[in-house]
């Protein structure tokens, strides 16, 4: 009832409870509460402002994936999910219907979005392909593992003095496959690079058939997590724009602005 009136409910989290038991019932973390408040303010701010995203169905991937070598060990990366969640929040605040397929993350998915949690790249691919028919726009912000162990062990592997060789095989490229299945869908991708950032991003945009790519430089302490980020947004026609170092919320709003411009241009072309 309250939800129907637009009230944002921050659900309790799982964990240890004051009564000594463990389960669902902890007050949400400060981070989550603040994100919900920021979202509410943003939504109020955007209310009544016409947006190309209003009513559009946006499917977003966010966060890392985990590729298991055995039941307890995995290969992953430093993605926090912050960028994908910020994009999801921004799109929802502008009136879009948002679904977020996300890998393991400490962050809570934003209010007003439908979260579909997954763990592996294969699960992420499956969840995305299953939701594709209900999407008008796809944003691939997840740091999907490019490789996965060829033969994961069914049991935890014991330590030995020998060298451990791990053979990896490529995962499905979700964004390329989305484009293959849906030639007319608006497709936005990301490129996190340590070097040759713009050239590599342009190559990916072409090869994977994206309409827009968002490039940023990353390093061991750079580009992941809650810190500021600097982005280059490149369109399929070659045009690009650069953002200064900005917080992820602000970065998300600039990316969604660029996406709206793209959708507006596309709708102009078809009429
Ligand atoms: O080639 P690279 O992994 O750097 O490409 C990054 C872009 O491709 C991101 O948008 C990411 O979400 C997407 N991607 C994907 N499936 C993969 C690998 C990357 O959708 N298996």
pLDDT at 144: 98
Q: Return the closest-CA partner of residue 112 out of 72, 58, 66, 190.
A: 58
pLDDT at 18: 86
* Residues 61, 50 contacting (CB under 8 angstroms): no
pLDDT at 100: 98
Task: State residue 245 phi and psi, 5-degree precision.
Answer: -70, 115
* Residues 79, 143 contacting (CB under 8 angstroms): yes
Residue 271 has pLDDT above 70, yes or no: no
Percent of the chain with pLDDT over 90: 80
Residue nearest to atom 9 of ligand 1 (CA): 190
- Mean pLDDT, the chain, as a whole number? 94
Q: What letter does residue 171 receive in the DSSP assignment?
A: P
Q: Counting atoms of ligand 1 from 1, which one is nearest the CA of 200?
A: 4
How far apart (Å, rounded) are the C-alpha atoms in residues 7 and 199? Answer: 44
Q: What is the pLDDT of residues 167-206, one digit of tens each?
A: 999 999 999 999 999 999 999 999 999 999 999 999 999 9
Exposed e or buried b for every residue in 190-221, given b needs 16+ CB within 10 A?
Answer: bbbbeeebbebbbebbeebebbbbbbbbbeee
Helix locations, 114-194, DSSP H: 121-131, 174-181
∠ CA 161-162-167 to the nearest 5 degrees?
140
Range with lowest mean pLDDT among 17-26, 102-111, 256-265: 17-26
* Residues 244, 230 contacting (CB under 8 angstroms): yes
Ligand 1 neighbour 121 (Cβ under 6 A): yes
Spatial CB neighbours of 219, under 8 Å, sequence gap ≥ 6: 194
Ligand 1 neighbour 144 (Cβ under 6 A): yes
pLDDT at 270: 67
Catalytic residues: 19
Two tokens at 84?
Answer: 């994908």
What is the mean pLDDT of the segment spanning 220-227?
74
Residue 223 has pLDDT above 80, yes or no: no
Residue 40 has pLDDT above 70, yes or no: yes
Distance from residue 211's CA to the centre of ligand 1 (Å): 14
Residue 221 has pLDDT above 80, yes or no: no
Q: For residue 83, what is the enclosing H or E element?
A: helix 82-93
Q: Counting atoms of ligand 1 from 1, which one is nearest the CA of 210?
A: 10
How far apart (Å, rounded) are the C-alpha atoms in residues 10 and 20? Answer: 23
Ligand 1 neighbour 263 (Cβ under 6 A): no
How far apart (Å, rounded) are the C-alpha atoms in residues 205 and 9? Answer: 38
Range with lowest mean pLDDT among 18-27, 178-187, 249-258: 18-27
Give 4's pLDDT tier (boundaries 50, 70, 90): confident
Rg over alpha carbons for the chain, rounded to the nearest Å, is 19
Residue 227 has pLDDT above 80, yes or no: no
Ligand 1 neighbour 190 (Cβ under 6 A): yes
């Amino acid at each position: 009832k309250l939800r129907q009136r637009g009230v944002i409910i921050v659900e309790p989290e799982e964990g240890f409870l004051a009564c000594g038991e463990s389960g669902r019932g902890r007050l949400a973390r400060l981070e989550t509460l603040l994100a919900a408040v920021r979202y509410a303010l943003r939504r109020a701010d955007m209310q009544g402002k016409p947006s190309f995203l209003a009513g559009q169905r946006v499917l977003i991937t966010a966060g890392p994936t985990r590729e298991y070598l055995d039941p307890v060990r995995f290969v992953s990366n430093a993605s926090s999910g912050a960028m994908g969640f910020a994009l999801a929040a921004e799109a929802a605040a502008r009136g879009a219907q948002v679904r977020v397929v996300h890998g393991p993350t400490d962050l809570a998915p934003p209010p007003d979005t439908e979260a579909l949690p997954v763990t592996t790249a294969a699960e992420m691919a499956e969840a995305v392909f299953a939701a594709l028919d209900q999407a008008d726009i796809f944003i691939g912000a997840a740091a999907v593992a490019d490789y996965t162990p060829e033969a994961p062990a069914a049991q935890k592997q014991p330590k030995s003095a020998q060298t451990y060789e791990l053979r990896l095989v490529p995962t499905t490229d979700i964004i390329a496959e989305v484009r293959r299945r849906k030639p007319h869908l608006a497709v936005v991708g990301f490129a996190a690079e340590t070097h040759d950032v713009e050239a590599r991003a342009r190559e990916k945009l072409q090869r994977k058939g994206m309409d827009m790519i968002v490039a940023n430089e990353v390093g061991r302490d750079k580009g992941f997590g809650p810190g500021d980020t600097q982005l280059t947004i490149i369109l399929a026609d070659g045009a690009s724009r650069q953002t200064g170092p900005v917080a992820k919320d602000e970065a998300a709003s600039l990316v969604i602005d660029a996406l709206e411009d793209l959708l507006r241009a596309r709708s102009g072309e078809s009429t």
